[in-house]
Structure 1
Amino acid sequence: MPVPSSADAPVLACRHVSKLYGHGAARFLDGRAAPEEMAAAGVIPAVIDVNLAIGRGETFVIMGLSGSGKSTLVRCLAGLIEPTGGEVLFEGRDLFALPERELIQLRRHRMGMVFQHFALLPHLTVLGNVAFPLDVQGMPKAQREARAREMIELVGLKGREAYFPRELSGGQQQRVGIARSLAADPELWFLDEPFSALDPLIRREMQDELKRLQAILNKTIVFITHDFDEAVRLADRIAIMKDGRLVQVGTAEELILHPASDYVRAFTRDAPRAKILTARAILRTPGPDEAGIAGMVPASTPIAGFAQQVEATDKPFAVVEDGRILGVIDRRAMMDVLVGRDLAGPAEPGP
């Protein structure tokens, strides 16, 4: 989907959100204290002064190493834990200014969550697990079971309604978790490292399944991962966190081309550039004595889609969009990508 513009009203946003643990933590909200000072006071800064906005229908991935604050942030965004300072806004309303009963109803009816650990109830069947949140809502049995069967079919488990979790593979158990989280038809869908416990092949299968479901359902998704390859496959935009702070937000292409710090550069160093970067990213202005072009390439085409053609000739290719020529690409630009030469130059100072 297109990246939300500043004119779009975000469905979910946070303003200066911090989550600090420890006695008297609130006195450190101004952000002036050094980490050593907070540590001496017994205060642990999990999230520090985070601002972000997520558009409706966007798949927004938050990533970082273990301890970076990504899971704490998503729990604040989902209304599970109250931040020490700042606001979490859902459709412009501060979640933690709502009456408790209203917040609970909002989380039950308009938010869904999937965790790394499947957390299925072992004594309930697949049907019972998927219907469980609807039971909590008080939905009549026939209605909730009908809805649960729809979700079970949606995630490809039709015929296994009577199975118990112990009778399912890891990937199937996670599909049950996904179906359960979708049963209430949430508008916001939070997924906290949902596939990290799965084997690589199953993990990729589940990533494809998530993309398939998103194409059908068009949810607003907040997805947590520490794997940049996974982020690239799923995200419209990616936020990178370090030591509780938001370091940079952008598309995968923006993060590769314009890393805000060496930390971001390290995350993107081994990314499959030929699959991520597009013709637009490597085009240049044609020179006055430029020879004739060998062909045309749409600006949004990933490099892997035309590398073989460009490599086969000395002539440049025109990069086109909406019938206009934006520039040209040539063999040298292709080699810069394929052998990993840095396109972005030195890292700019980052947080």
Structure 2
Amino acid sequence: MAGVPRNTLSTGSRTVTVSDVKIQVDKVYKIFGSRPDDAMAALHAGAGKAEVLQKTGCIVGLKGIDFSIRRGETFVIMGLSGSGKSTLIRHFNRLIEPTAGRILVDGRNIMDMNAKELLAFRRSGISMVFQRFGLLPHQTVLENTICGPILQGVDRCEAMKRGMEQLELVGLKGFENRFPRQLSGGMQQRVGLARALATQADVLLMDEAFSALDPLIKSDMQEQLKEIQARLKKTIIFITHDLDEALHLGDRIAILKDGELRQVGTGEEILFRPSDDYVERFVRKVDLSRALCANDAFAKVPVLTQAEAAGGQTAALLLQHPAVIVAHGTEMRVLTSCEPHSTKRVAYIDAAATLGQSFPLLAGEKTVVVMDNGAPAGILTREMAFKALSRSTHAA
């Protein structure tokens, strides 16, 4: 790769070191049919998916997929039905074998694993959350949750302890002795998530895990996954056909079409710098309030201690800035240039939160203080949010 040092890889928007990469997908092809060699030859000669089907009777599932997934990121793979996304995710645990190519996890090609090594990898290195829950109806919630640790050979007492920890993490403490039929769909999916987490695997595969849920429950599960990921820092590969979901959950997004990778990038890159006409059409009707963050819209303002504010600095600063934040421990107040002697009521939002999440706060009379890494960074108003959306709509 010209211009890139040997110990680095180019992945989407930035160059990262090899040590940052958890999974490397290296030119993976998948051909379904009885003449894969002929189909591969046709592909290399420039034939398209339809032509390969006509000439060989084979279906091209994946064509030369090549990207890296960083350690601890939520990587979303999306596309329409038939794009190859569910085929691709099943390559990571070798439920589907590639026709050609490699998948490296922590630098090791999983295609080189023998049956015993692959079994150990599936039990301890990688877990999967299914779309239709996949719970065993004759087992309790706790028994379902500890399936993985028991298969790993973990002592039952330790497995039960681990299972209870995960059930508490997903908000199901007190339901451990219920059976799946006694739970709602959202609760059953939480059990599936707890079961995957109980294996303590580094990699979590989620194949349209929330698509069978009602919209409100789906939204709750998305928020819970983000909270869990903030604590555990798993490497998550998440499959969806919902672009709003991809933008909300994904650190980066890969878009597939007819088994080909069309673009990998952050939500902002996908929306505002689409790689081709297909991606541009794909994202055209997206809700930008779920793609833009408070960090994209807020105004940085001075932050003073209470002693500094009492020392007379406030008035001079308000001539240059729309507001000043006065911090006293964990409590804050906001002084504005319009009303320098009046303290505004304060609400807080993280800089990484979406503008959509900020709207309920902006609808009230409180001034929204944007927090970055736990410290106040600036303020966000309705006007600032609308201007950011307007700019982005024009750019898109």
Same fold flag (TM > 0.5): yes
Moved more, 257-266 or 66-75: 257-266
- For each residue in 1:203-242, what CA deviation from the matched residue of structure 2 results, as whole angstroms up to 9, or x when unmatched? 0000001001101111010000000100111010000000
Structure with more relative contact order (C-alpha pairs < 8 Å, separation 6 or more): 1
Distance in 1 between residues matched to 2:148 and 2:102, nearest whole Å: 27
Q: 1:76 and 2:87 equivalent?
A: no
Cα drift, residue 138 of structure 1: 2.3
| Structure 1 Cα separation of the partners of residues 295 and 165 of structure 2 | 42
Q: Secondary structure at the match of 1:5?
A: strand
**Structure 2: gaps spanning 5 or more residues:** 1-11, 298-318, 324-350, 363-382
The SS at the match of 2:47 is: coil
Moved more, 256-265 or 170-179: 256-265
Deviations 1:252-304 (A, max 9, x none): 1111111112221122212222442469979xxxxxxxxx98759xx989677
Whether the 8 Å CA contact 2:244–2:290 is kept in 1: the answer is no
Structure-2 residue corresponding to 1:39: 53
Which residue pairs with 1:19 in the alignment? 30
Which position in structure 2 is the counterpart of 1:119? 134
CA contact (8 A) 2:49 2:258 kept: no
User: Are 1:133 and 2:144 counterparts?
Assistant: no
Distance 1:333 1:122 in 2: 48
Shift of 1:143: 1.7
| Residues 147/300 of structure 1: CA separation in 2 closer, same or farther (3 Å cut) | closer
1:213 aligns with 2:228: yes
Aligned residues, how many? 313
Q: Structure 1 pair 4/262, CA: closer, same or farther in 2 (3 Å)?
A: closer
- Equivalent position to 1:7, from 5, 17, 33: 17
Q: Return the TM-score normalized by structure 2.
A: 0.72
**Residue 114 of structure 2 aligns with which residue?**
99
Maintained 8 Å contact 1:336/1:343: no
- Separation in 1 of the partners of 2:385 and 2:231? 37
For the 8 Å contact 1:62–1:222, the answer to whether it is kept is yes
Larger Rg: 2
* Residue in 1 that maps onto 2:280: 265
What SS does the aligned partner of 2:275 have? Answer: coil
Where has structure 1 moved over 3 Å in runs of 4 or more? 277-282, 292-296, 299-306, 331-342
SS of the equivalent of 2:16 reads coil
Q: Could you tell me how far apart the structure 2 residues matched to 1:154 and 1:301 are?
A: 22
Correspondent of 1:152 among 167, 172, 179? 167
| Counterpart contact for 2:288–2:393, Cα < 8 Å | no
**Which consecutive residues of structure 1, in runs of 5 or more, have no partner in the other structure?**
283-291, 310-330, 345-351
Q: Percent identity?
A: 44
Closer/same/farther in 2, CA of residues 281 and 119 from structure 1, 3 Å limit: same
**1:253 paired residue number:** 268
Q: Which residue of 2 aligns with 1:235?
A: 250
What are the within-5 Å matches in structure 2 for residues 282-301 of structure 1? none
Would the aligned equivalents of 1:13 and 1:90 in 2 still touch at CA under 8 Å? yes
Give the whole-Å Cα distance in 1 for the aligned partners of 2:15 and 2:170.
Answer: 32
Contact 1:129 1:176 (C-alpha < 8 Å) held by counterparts: yes
Greater strand share, structure number: 2
